[in-house]
């Protein structure tokens, strides 16, 4: 039975924080399926998995300007565990980090590997670490080459879903592990694809693609259904890039008037993604029909800082904003498995919205029934707001679903307050029953 309250913990008493990520619950022994790390490293990793398997683990980073690594005032990466039995968060490790932590990117299958973005607001450096949570150590392996002309905004590991062989950089790869060594770096004005060598200390530049806008806010996501494609926010646009040719193959112009701040792919329904922008809106898209969103929600009173699909049940979507609110939305009508009670005779949900030519007039109020397509739905299954969580008092730029199960998620506000909440039990049973 879920607790009705939130679990709250302070990441830092005096340092701002921007990013939280769930630590994956499973691992592979090595990146290449062999012994590239050595027997000692493999044994340590196996021990870590045995101890921490199926736990709610979250990483958070601090972001204090001028904090020195060699003093007690250093910025840190902190590992937390959420304990359902006592509904509480406990600190498991604190690891010093060089510079402000702007992003955390744990490897999807190797929990001892971590990409971060460090530095100030303009001068940022990508870094690859091996970390030992039990020992509280963070060991730098390599740095991502950068240029001062293009600020680094986001790093993305290649996803592990590689059942079909992909072709990247003109080469065909059938080994999942070779693909998992690659990552994407999103900069202002361009993206770069990198390959990490087996030593984990060198990186090779595979290719570069220029973006249509010189401004990027770090919105990017790998397509889980098509491993050679990524979508990236570039100014007010969303562009799709084919990494085999390093060319833009799709684009959504004017996705958000003031800029795209975050995006995420639907994990269960190909070609569908959600975006959040500085126009306060959350929008849902079929990228094959970029002229009009499937659904528009006026979700927050200020910027939308983060949007995330539930990895298991794509009816559920989280959004977080600089208005300090975290919102849980039900978007059943455009999900892969609409809830009972919805009119799903039409397999195409692209008719959601009004007839207005102005996209802003197609907004769905957070307290309304969710658009024309849900008019025949019951109030219990109609698209709309499930719950607004008001545990924060400052801007929220990051949310993360737990990797251990479908119903737990974390949010982090800029003042360092980490909160873990649950999907309401009633909503859970609507989906499961």
Count other Cβ atoms within 10 Å, centred on residue 288.
10
Under 8 Å between Cβ of 189 and 216:
yes
Residue the block writes with tokens 């639907």: 266
Residue 332, classed as helix, strand or coil, is helix
What's residue 134's pLDDT?
79
| d(C-alpha 192, C-alpha 201), whole Å | 18
C-alpha atoms less than 13 angstroms from C-alpha of 136 in its C-beta half-sphere:
9
What's residue 106's pLDDT?
95
Tokens representing residue 158 in the block: 């290649």
Nearest to 154 by CA among 222, 256, 94: 222
Task: State how far Cα 170 lies from the chain centre.
Answer: 28
What's residue 2's pLDDT?
52
The string of pLDDT tens digits covering residues 82-133 is 999 999 999 999 999 999 999 999 998 888 899 999 987 678 999 999 988 7
Domains, the chain, ranges and CATH?
A: 7-432 (2.130.10.10)
Tokens representing residue 219 in the block: 């919105």
The residues of the chain scoring below 50 in pLDDT are 1, 27-45, 48, 162-177, 342-378
Nearest to 77 by CA among 88, 66, 53, 93: 93
Nearest to 426 by CA among 56, 2, 87: 2
- How many Å is the Cα radius of gyration of the chain? 21
| d(C-alpha 170, C-alpha 182), whole Å | 14
What's residue 340's pLDDT?
64
Nearest to 311 by CA among 245, 404, 227: 404
What's residue 352's pLDDT?
37
């Amino acid at each position: 039975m879920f607790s009705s309250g939130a679990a709250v913990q302070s990441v830092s008493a005096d340092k701002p924080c921007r990013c939280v990520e769930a630590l994956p619950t499973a691992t592979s022994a090595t990146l290449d399926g062999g012994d590239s790390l050595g027997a000692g490293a493999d044994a340590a990793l196996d021990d870590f998995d045995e101890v921490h398997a199926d736990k709610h683990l979250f990483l958070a980073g601090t972001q204090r300007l001028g904090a020195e690594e060699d003093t007690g005032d250093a910025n840190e990466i902190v590992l937390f565990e959420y304990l359902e039995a006592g509904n509480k968060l406990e600190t498991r490790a604190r690891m010093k980090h060089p510079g402000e932590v702007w992003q955390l990117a744990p490897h999807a299958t190797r929990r001892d590997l971590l990409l971060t973005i460090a530095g100030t607001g303009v001068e940022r450096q990508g870094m690859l670490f091996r970390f030992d949570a039990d020992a509280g150590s963070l060991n730098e392996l390599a740095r991502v080459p950068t240029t001062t002309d293009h600020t680094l905004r986001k790093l993305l590991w290649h996803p592990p879903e590689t059942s079909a062989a992909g072709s990247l950089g003109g080469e065909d790869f059938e080994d999942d592990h070779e693909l998992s060594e690659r990552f994407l770096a999103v900069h202002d004005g361009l993206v770069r694809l990198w390959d990490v060598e087996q030593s984990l200390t060198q990186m090779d530049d595979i290719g570069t693609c220029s973006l249509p806008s010189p401004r990027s806010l770090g919105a990017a996501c790998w397509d889980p259904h098509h491993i050679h494609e990524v979508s990236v926010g570039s100014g007010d646009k969303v562009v799709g890039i084919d990494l085999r040719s390093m060319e833009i193959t799709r684009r959504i112009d004017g996705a958000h008037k003031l800029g795209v701040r975050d995006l995420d792919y639907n994990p269960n329904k190909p070609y569908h993604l959600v975006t959040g922008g500085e126009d306060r809106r959350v929008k849902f898209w079929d990228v094959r029909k970029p002229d009009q969103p499937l659904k528009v929600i006026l979700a927050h009173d200020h910027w939308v800082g983060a949007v995330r699909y539930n990895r298991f049940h794509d009816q559920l979507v989280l959004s977080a904003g600089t208005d300090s609110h975290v919102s849980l939305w039900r978007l059943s009508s455009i999900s892969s498995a609409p809830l009972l009670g919805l009119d799903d005779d039409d397999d195409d949900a692209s008719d959601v919205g009004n007839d207005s030519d102005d996209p802003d007039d197609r907004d769905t109020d957070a307290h309304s029934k969710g658009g024309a397509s849900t008019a025949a739905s019951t109030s219990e299954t109609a698209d709309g707001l499930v719950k607004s969580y008001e545990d924060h008092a400052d801007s929220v730029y990051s949310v993360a679903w737990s990797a251990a199960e479908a119903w737990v998620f974390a949010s982090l506000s800029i003042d360092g307050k980490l909160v873990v909440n649950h999907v309401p039990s009633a909503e859970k049973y609507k989906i499961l029953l």
